[in-house]
């Protein structure tokens, strides 16, 4: 019973957050009359827990898909551990 109450108390006061980023970029290089274009698309969802008013920890898992101009496409997976310190200004 005490364990259930403690778990509920921690969950009730929890400060979880969700966030992330989405990005698109293109890059064109011209050299001696020839050009090459590279397009990259990415999505990185993030979730975490605010331990206090100034410190948070979380994780972001993302994927980046790159499309070169004339070569094979490739995908990059990433797993990022996040710790943030928020200082008042």
**Sign (positive/negative) of CA torsion 6, 8, 12, 17?**
positive
Summarize pLDDT for 16-68 with one digit per residue, the tens. 888 888 888 888 878 788 777 878 888 888 888 888 878 888 888 888 888 77
Higher pLDDT, 82 or 24: 24
**pLDDT for the residue numbered 74:** 66
Q: 0.75 cut: is pTM over it?
A: no
**Residue 86: which pLDDT band, with cuts at 50, 70 and 90?**
low
Query: How far, in Å, CA of 38 to CA of 29, rounded?
Result: 9
* Predicted local distance difference test score (pLDDT) of residue 31: 78
CA distance 66 to 30: 19
């Amino acid at each position: 019973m005490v364990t259930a109450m403690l778990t509920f108390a921690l969950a009730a006061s929890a400060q979880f957050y969700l966030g992330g980023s989405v990005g698109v970029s293109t890059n064109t290089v011209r050299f001696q009359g020839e050009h090459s274009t590279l397009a990259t698309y990415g999505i990185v969802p993030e979730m975490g827990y605010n331990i206090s008013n100034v410190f948070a920890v979380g994780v972001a898992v993302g994927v980046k898909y790159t499309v070169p101009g004339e070569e094979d496409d490739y995908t990059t997976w990433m797993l990022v551990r996040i710790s943030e310190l928020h200082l008042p200004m």
